[in-house]
């Protein structure tokens, strides 16, 4: 935190009343000289080791580097999304960050109510651009591509799998299809033949909340010889990761570094396909500070997590290949061939 804010905040009581969505009223966020940034979490804590925490880290960076006053509200119940956003809007916050696609409608509605506020919606795709709202999205096909390339290079059986939530959601489908494409790319480069199993949940209502199906599906893939499993789709994907890790297969997480969030699978967590939320959110906050805030969809970057406990098992040539593949994806010289939506 910048020294000026440390002095000010030491002199006033700071309240973060999570359930009643109160924020400090002593700061005049309507003033043109004070840059205020608020974060409304998806249901859960700000230190969730996932998107909420990544977004909050970007606000803390804005405090340090941009001199912003930053605050968060932890959402306890999804029915409070609109109320929590309004708590910042009524105080005249310059930027409000909302985390997760579940807040998309509430974010768009708030943009109409608070036209002088810039809104950043993490993982919130817009069918049509909304004035004052930047939907921070990610090329999941590229993240999946990296996971598939890593899996193909690390597999000893040359059989790998991905257990995913519904392919009716484009981002999930892009992860799965990117995984296939990454393995195919490595096969062509290294003259390999990798069999890739990718299965999507068929029930949209349970697609993200069916760890039993995830575990059973991963088990079926392992029975067919797969020795690397990519889990993509919250609890469903986690069920696959846990089952595969228990069977001593390599596993690859999704979205954030799941080595930190799924400790039962951590000893076999090869890596995770990352959405780089923190730098993406900070970049948009900085653009707002500079008066250059973009409306519509804004594309963030992707990457892969450290190898952690398995670091010694990843050969140097695999590391170098992954670095080269990611560089090619970022500069556009390498394309996944996966369309934005399922044909």
Convert the pLDDT of each residue in 268-281 to its tens digit. Answer: 999 999 999 999 99
Beta-strand ranges (E) seen in the chain are: 36-40, 69-73, 95-99, 118-122, 133-137, 159-164, 195-200, 228-232, 250-255, 269-275, 296-299, 302-304
* Superfamily of chain region 12-137+277-302: Response regulator (3.40.50.2300)
Residue 13, pLDDT > 80, answer no
Residue 92, pLDDT > 50, answer yes
Residue 124, pLDDT > 70, answer yes
pLDDT at 49: 87
Taking a C-beta distance cutoff of 8 angstroms, is the pair 13, 22 a contact? no
Give tens-digit pLDDT for 101-112. 999 999 999 999
Indicate the SS3 state at residue 278. helix
> What global pTM score does this model have?
0.88
Sheet holding 36-40, edge to edge: 69-73, 36-40, 95-99, 118-122, 133-137, 296-299
In which band, very low, low, confident or very high, does the pLDDT at 113 lie, cut at 50, 70 and 90?
very high
Residue 23, pLDDT > 60, answer no
pLDDT at 294: 97
Question: With respect to CATH, is domain 140-275+307-331 assigned 3.10.129.10?
Answer: no
Average pLDDT, the chain: 92
The residue to which tokens 């002095």 are assigned: 7
Residue 21, pLDDT > 90, answer no
Mean pLDDT, range 115-141, rounded to an integer:
96
Mean pLDDT, range 80-101, rounded to an integer:
97
Task: State the Cα–Cα distance between residues 141 and 181, nearest whole angstrom.
Answer: 9
Beta carbons within 8 Å of 239's beta carbon, 6+ residues apart: 163, 210, 211, 212, 213, 214, 215, 218, 231
Pairwise pLDDT comparison (27 vs 197), residue with the higher score: 197
pLDDT at 179: 98
In which band, very low, low, confident or very high, does the pLDDT at 95 lie, cut at 50, 70 and 90?
very high
pLDDT at 311: 98
Residue 22, pLDDT > 70, answer no
List where CATH 3.40.50.2300 sits in the chain: 12-137+277-302, 140-275+307-331
In which band, very low, low, confident or very high, does the pLDDT at 25 lie, cut at 50, 70 and 90?
low
In which band, very low, low, confident or very high, does the pLDDT at 204 lie, cut at 50, 70 and 90?
confident
Mean pLDDT, range 174-186, rounded to an integer:
98
Mean pLDDT, range 242-262, rounded to an integer:
97
């Amino acid at each position: 935190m910048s020294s000026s804010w440390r002095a000010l905040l030491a002199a006033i009581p700071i309240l973060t009343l999570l359930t009643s969505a109160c924020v400090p009223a002593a700061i005049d966020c309507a003033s043109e000289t004070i840059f205020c940034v608020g974060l409304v979490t998806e249901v859960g804590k700000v230190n969730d080791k996932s998107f909420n925490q990544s977004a909050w880290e970007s606000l803390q960076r804005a405090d340090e580097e941009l001199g912003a006053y930053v605050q968060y509200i932890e959402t306890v119940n999804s029915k409070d999304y609109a109320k929590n956003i309004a708590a910042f809007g009524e105080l005249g916050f310059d930027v409000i960050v909302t985390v997760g696609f579940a807040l998309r409608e509430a974010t768009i509605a708030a943009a109409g109510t608070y036209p002088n506020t810039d809104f950043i919606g993490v993982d919130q795709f817009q069918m049509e651009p909304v004035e004052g709202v930047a939907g921070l999205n990610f090329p999941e096909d590229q993240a999946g591509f990296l996971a598939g390339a890593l899996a193909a290079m690390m597999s000893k059986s040359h059989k790998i799998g991905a257990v995913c939530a519904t392919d009716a959601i484009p981002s999930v489908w892009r992860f799965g299809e990117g995984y296939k494409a990454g393995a195919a790319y490595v096969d062509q480069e290294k003259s390999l033949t990798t069999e890739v199993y990718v299965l999507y949940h068929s029930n949209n209502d349970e697609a993200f909340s069916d760890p039993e199906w995830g575990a059973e599906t991963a088990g079926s893939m392992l029975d067919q010889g797969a020795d690397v499993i990519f889990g993509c789709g919250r609890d469903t994907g986690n069920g696959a990761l846990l089952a595969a890790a228990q069977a001593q297969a390599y596993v690859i997480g999704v979205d954030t570094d799941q080595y930190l969030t799924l400790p039962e699978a951590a000893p076999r967590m090869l890596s995770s396909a990352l959405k780089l939320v923190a730098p993406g959110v900070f970049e948009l906050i900085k653009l707002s500070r500079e008066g250059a805030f973009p409306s519509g969809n804004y594309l963030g970057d992707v990457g892969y997590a450290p190898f952690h406990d398995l670091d010694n098992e990843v050969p140097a040539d695999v590391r170098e290949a992954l670095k080269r593949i990611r560089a090619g994806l970022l500069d556009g010289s390498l394309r996944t061939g996966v369309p934005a939506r399922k044909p």
